[in-house]
C-alpha cells in the first residue's frame, strides 16, 4: 500500500503523527500543496512565505534521509486542492492520505471537500492531532461549553496534561522506498512574492534543526529568567520560537518537554520562569481552541458581538503613520520599525501598538490584524486574531475597555534606559534616558521627529466613551 503524508502547518519529521500513521500504512510519499493566490487572500507576509519555503527545503532533506520522496503540487486556491489531490493519488496509486488537522474555517472546508472526493474514489483520508498539546474541543467547561476565560482554561489543560502526559511521537524509521517516485525540485522563490531583505532571512534560519537550536539556547540561557526578563524588549528574554511553532517546524509538545526537562519534570511547580513560559504555550493553545470552537472568529467577527457596534474612526492618514512608525510616540514607532524590518515584534510591544491603534487612534482592529499578517514571519490566524481582540477589548478574555495602556508609561517601565528606542530610532539616540520616551516639542523639531498624532489623555477618554456607550 502507498500512503501520503500531506504536510501543511507541521513542517517536521519528529512528533509528526500524520507521518507516523502514513508510514504504518505502507510506503510513504510526502506532499506539500502550495496555493499562492490563497496565501495572498489570507494576507500572508512575503517574509513568512520565504521562511516556509526555506523550511520546506530543510524538510525535504530530512525526509530523503528516511527514503521518503517529497512531492510539490501547486494550485491557486484551496478550492482547487481536492481535484489536484485526487489526480495525484490516482497517478501514484495512493490508497490513504494522512494529515494533521487545522482549525480555521477555510482549512476545515478544504479538508472536508478533500475527504469527500477521495472517499468517493475509494481513497481514505485521516486527520490526526499534531498542532496543539490537547485536541481542540476536548477541553470544555462543566456545562460542555468552550472556555472563554484563559485562567480556568489553563487550569483544565494542566490537569489534563497531568493525568495524560503529552507523548512525543518518535522519529520514524527509514523506509526502503523501493518503487516510489523521486522527489520534486522545490522552487527557491515564489513568483509574485518579493524576496525579503537578506538580513531578515539571516535572522530566521529555517527548519527543525534551527528551531531546536533556538529552543536549546533558550532553555540553557533564558527560560529560568523568563519572569524578570520577558517584558523587556531590549533583552533576549523570550524564546523567539513563534515562527517555528506557527509553521510546525517544532511542535508545542517538544517545547513542553524541553521545559519539563529544565524543571525536573514539573509543569506547575518548580522554577517560576519555566512554569510561566508553559503558561505562554497555553495562551497559544487557548486561541487555537477558540478558533476551533467559534468559527465566526475566522470570519472577522468579534468574540463579544456587542463590540461590533463600536464606531471606529475612518482615519487612513493616521493608520498610515502607524504603519510607518511615524506616530510621534517613540515606543510605538520603534516597535513598528522592528516589525517591518525583522518580521517579528516583542509580545509586550504587540500589545502596546495594538492598544494604541485601537484605543488612542480608535481605528478598527481588523486593519491592524491584517497589517501584522502582511509583515509577521510568525503570522498565525488564531494567535494574531486573539492578540488583536485582546488589545481591542473585543475578545474572549480581553483587556477591559477602560484599562488603556499609556504607551509612554509602558516605555518608561519596560525600556527604562531607552536601549530599545535608541536601536530602532537612532534619530533620538542623543536624548536623555528620561526624555527619549516623550521628547519635548523643541527636541522633536531639532531631531526631525514628528509631534504626537493624538493627545494620549483625550484620546483615551474618547475610546472609553466609545465602548461605554455600547451599554
Ligand atoms: C496584537 C497581537 C498579535 C499577535 N500575533 C501573533 C501571531 O500572528 N503569531 C503568533 O505566534 N503570536 C502572536 N501573538 C502572540 C505573541 O506576541 C507571540 O507569540 C510572541 O511574541 C512570540 O515571541 P516568542 O516566540 O519569543 O514567545 P515566548 O514568550 O517565548 O512564548 C513561547 C510561545 O508561546 C506562544 N505565545 C506566547 N505568547 C502568546 C500569546 N499572547 N498568544 C498566543 N501565543 C503565545 C508562542 O507560540 C510563543 O512562541 C500576538 C500577540 C498580540 C498582542
79 part of the active site: no
Rounded to 10°, the helix 272-293/150-163 angle is 110
Distance 353 CA to ligand 1 centre (A): 14
The string of pLDDT tens digits covering residues 193-226 is 999 999 999 999 999 999 999 999 999 999 999 9
- List the catalytic residue out of 39, 78, 322, 365: 365
Residue 285 a catalytic site member: no
Q: Ligand 1: which residue has its CA nearest to atom 43?
A: 284
**Ligand 1 neighbour 387 (Cβ under 6 A):** yes
Is 280 tagged catalytic?
yes
Q: How far is the CA of 312 from the centre of ligand 1 (A)?
A: 26
What does DSSP assign to residue 9? S
DSSP state of 364: -
Phi/psi for 68 (5° steps) reads: -105, 115
Q: Could you give the CA distance from residue 334 to residue 83 in angstroms, rounded to a whole number?
A: 46
Q: Is 277 a catalytic residue?
A: no
The model carries a pTM of 0.98
Report whether residue 139 contacts ligand 1, using a CB cutoff of 6 Å.
no
Stated length of the chain: 471
In the predicted structure, residue 471 carries a pLDDT above the cut 80 = no
Catalytic residue at 347? Answer: yes
Determine if ligand 1 sits within 6 Å of the CB of residue 45: no
Q: Concatenated DSSP letters for 379-431?
A: --HHHHHHHHHHHTT-STTPPPTT----HHHHHHHHSTT-HHHHHH-GGGTTS
Owner of C-alpha cell 456607550: 469
29 bridge partner residues: 4
- Provide the CA 377 distance to its chain's centre, in angstroms: 8
405 Cβ closer than 6 Å to some ligand 1 atom: no
Which domains occur in the chain, in start order? 2-130 (3.40.50.620), 131-167+208-293 (1.25.40.80), 305-468 (1.10.579.10)
Cα distance between residue 255 and residue 219, in whole Å: 10
CB 331 within 8 A of CB 215: no
Query: Is residue 365 among the annotated active site residues?
Result: yes
| Closest residue by CA, ligand 1 atom 17 | 347
Is 242 close to ligand 1, i.e. is its CB under 6 Å away? yes
Average pLDDT, the chain: 97
Instruction: Name the grid cell of 45.
Output: 507576509
Task: Report pLDDT for 191.
Answer: 86
Angle between helices 407-414 and 347-355 (to 10 degrees): 160
**Residue of 280, 285, 369, 380 with catalytic role:** 280
Assign residue 43 a region (left: φ > 0; alpha: ψ between -120 and 50; beta: otherwise).
left
| pLDDT score at 217 | 98
pLDDT tens for 305-321 read 999 999 999 999 999 99
Query: What values do phi and psi take at 364, rounded to 5?
Result: -50, 130
Residue 51 pLDDT exceeds 80:
yes
Report how far ligand 1's centroid is from the alpha carbon of 29 (Å).
33
Separation CA 150–CA 162 (nearest Å): 18
Amino acid at each position: 500500500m502507498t500512503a501520503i503524508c500531506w504536510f501543511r502547518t507541521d513542517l517536521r519529521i519528529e512528533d509528526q503523527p500524520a507521518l507516523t500513521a502514513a508510514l504504518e500504512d505502507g510506503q510513504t510519499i510526502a506532499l506539500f500543496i502550495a496555493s499562492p493566490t490563497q496565501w495572498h487572500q489570507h494576507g500572508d507576509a512575503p517574509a513568512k512565505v520565504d521562511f516556509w519555503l526555506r523550511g520546506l527545503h530543510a524538510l525535504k532533506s530530512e525526509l530523503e534521509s528516511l527514503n521518503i520522496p517529497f512531492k510539490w503540487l501547486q494550485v491557486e486556491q484551496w478550492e482547487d486542492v481536492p481535484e489536484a489531490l485526487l489526480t495525484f493519488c490516482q497517478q501514484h496509486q495512493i490508497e490513504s492520505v494522512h494529515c494533521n488537522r487545522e482549525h480555521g474555517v477555510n482549512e476545515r472546508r478544504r479538508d472536508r471537500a478533500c475527504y469527500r472526493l477521495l472517499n468517493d474514489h475509494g481513497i481514505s483520508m485521516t486527520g490526526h492531532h499534531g498542532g496543539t498539546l490537547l485536541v481542540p474541543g476536548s477541553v470544555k467547561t462543566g456545562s460542555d461549553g468552550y472556555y472563554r476565560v484563559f485562567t480556568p482554561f489553563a487550569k483544565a489543560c494542566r490537569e489534563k496534561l497531568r493525568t495524560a502526559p503529552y507523548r512525543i511521537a518518535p522519529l520514524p524509521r527509514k523506509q526502503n522506498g523501493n518503487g516510489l517516485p523521486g522527489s520534486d525540485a522545490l522552487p527557491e522563490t515564489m513568483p509574485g512574492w518579493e524576496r525579503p531583505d537578506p538580513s531578515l532571512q539571516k535572522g530566521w534560519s529555517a527548519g527543525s534543526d534551527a528551531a531546536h537550536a533556538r529552543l536549546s539556547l533558550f532553555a540553557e540561557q533564558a527560560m529560568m529568567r523568563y519572569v524578570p526578563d520577558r517584558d523587556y524588549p531590549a533583552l533576549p528574554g523570550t524564546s523567539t520560537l513563534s515562527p517555528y511553532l506557527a509553521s510546525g517546524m517544532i511542535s508545542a509538545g517538544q517545547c513542553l518537554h524541553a521545559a519539563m526537562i529544565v524543571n525536573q519534570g514539573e509543569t506547575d511547580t518548580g522554577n517560576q520562569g519555566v512554569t510561566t513560559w508553559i503558561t505562554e504555550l497555553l495562551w497559544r493553545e487557548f486561541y487555537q481552541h477558540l478558533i476551533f470552537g467559534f468559527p465566526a472568529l475566522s470570519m472577522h467577527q468579534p468574540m463579544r458581538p456587542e463590540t461590533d457596534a463600536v464606531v471606529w474612526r475612518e482615519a487612513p492618514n493616521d493608520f498610515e503613520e502607524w504603519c510607518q512608525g511615524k506616530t510621534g510616540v517613540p515606543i510605538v514607532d520603534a516597535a513598528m520599525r522592528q516589525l517591518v524590518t525583522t518580521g517579528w515584534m516583542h509580545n509586550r510591544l504587540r500589545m502596546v501598538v495594538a492598544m494604541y491603534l485601537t484605543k488612542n487612534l480608535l481605528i478598527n482592529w481588523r486593519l491592524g490584524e491584517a497589517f501584522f499578517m502582511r509583515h509577521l514571519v510568525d503570522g498565525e490566524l488564531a494567535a494574531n486574531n486573539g492578540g488583536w481582540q485582546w488589545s481591542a477589548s473585543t475578545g474572549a478574555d480581553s483587556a477591559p475597555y477602560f484599562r488603556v495602556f499609556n504607551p509612554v508609561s509602558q516605555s518608561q517601565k519596560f525600556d527604562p534606559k531607552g536601549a530599545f528606542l535608541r536601536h530602532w530610532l537612532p534619530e533620538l539616540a542623543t536624548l536623555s534616558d528620561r526624555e527619549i520616551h516623550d521628547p519635548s516639542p523643541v527636541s522633536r523639531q531639532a531631531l526631525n521627529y514628528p509631534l504626537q498624532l493624538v493627545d494620549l489623555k483625550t484620546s483615551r477618554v474618547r475610546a472609553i466613551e466609545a465602548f461605554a456607550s455600547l451599554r
